[in-house]
């Protein structure tokens, strides 16, 4: 079946882990038919986060799959921990161009929404926007004409949330969201959400 592992850092600006809207991972796992396990990091700092990751991965078995694209900070720690634990690591996006990654995500039919923006060209009007061909073109235009940004958000320029995918049996419906701005960053916090009606399985 597979397991989705969430590490919940104490530091909202963690360099190692994703932080916005982590409560939604439980709904993603349910829609995907996966087991979900959540592990909280009780202290801030790189050492505490690395140790929490080591402990969490040490309690599982088999392959570890991660979505790192270009962050050597993330990849090197994952690689070292998996090697020490004897667990194989699969990072299918590693080293691929940002455009290759986002084109594959869009082409696969993922419904990805921007939920946190932390780069100068990205204004609050983009919050909640779906990552589609038009938005990718907009991000590339901003990167070219205003300030360089990683179009896949790998540098922390934006964080995203998958609310539907072809492998989900139900979409995630956002019932209540709160928009906020702080220190030049803009965010969309999901306060309430639920799974929509089940889709019929594909015929044939």
pLDDT in tens, 132-188: 999 999 999 999 999 999 999 988 899 999 999 999 999 999 999 999 998 889 999
- pLDDT value at 49 more than 90: yes
When pLDDT is cut at 50, 70 and 90, the band that residue 204 belongs to is: low
The CATH code belonging to domain 101-204 is 3.90.1490.10
Top pLDDT among 15 and 30 is at: 30
What is the reported pLDDT for 202? 64
Domain coordinates in residue numbering, the chain: 1-95, 101-204
What is the reported pLDDT for 184? 86
Judged by DSSP in three states, 62 sits in coil
C-alpha to C-alpha distance for 85 and 80, rounded to whole angstroms = 9
C-alpha to C-alpha distance for 135 and 123, rounded to whole angstroms = 13
- pLDDT value at 58 more than 70: yes
When pLDDT is cut at 50, 70 and 90, the band that residue 76 belongs to is: very high
What is the reported pLDDT for 176? 98
What is the reported pLDDT for 203? 64
What is the reported pLDDT for 200? 77
- Annotate 72-108 with b (16+ C-beta within 10 A) or e (fewer): eebbebbbebbeeeebebebebbeeebeebbeebbee
1-95 falls under which CATH superfamily? HUPs (3.40.50.620)
Yes or no: say if 76 and 82 are a contact pair by the CB < 8 Å rule.
no
What is the reported pLDDT for 2? 81
Percent of the chain with pLDDT over 90: 86
């Amino acid at each position: 079946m597979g397991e989705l592992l969430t590490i919940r850092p104490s530091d909202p600006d963690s360099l190692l882990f994703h932080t916005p809207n982590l409560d939604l991972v439980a709904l993603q796992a349910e829609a995907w038919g996966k087991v979900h396990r959540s592990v909280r990091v009780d202290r801030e700092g790189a050492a505490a986060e690395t140790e929490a990751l080591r402990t969490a991965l040490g309690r599982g078995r088999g392959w570890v799959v991660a979505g790192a694209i270009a962050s050597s900070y993330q990849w090197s720690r994952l690689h070292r921990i998996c090697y020490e634990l004897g667990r194989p690591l699969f990072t299918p996006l590693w080293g691929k161009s940002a455009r290759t990654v986002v084109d594959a995500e869009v082409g696969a039919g993922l419904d990805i929404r921007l939920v946190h923006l932390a780069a100068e060209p990205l204004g609050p009007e983009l919050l909640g926007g779906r990552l589609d061909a038009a938005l990718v073109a907009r991000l590339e235009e901003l990167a070219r004409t205003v300030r360089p940004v990683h179009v896949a958000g790998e540098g922390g320029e934006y964080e995203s949330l998958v609310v539907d995918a072809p492998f989900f049996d139900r979409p995630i419906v956002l019932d209540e969201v709160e928009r906020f701005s702080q220190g030049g960053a803009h965010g969309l916090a999901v306060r309430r959400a639920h799974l929509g009606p089940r889709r019929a399985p594909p015929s044939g």
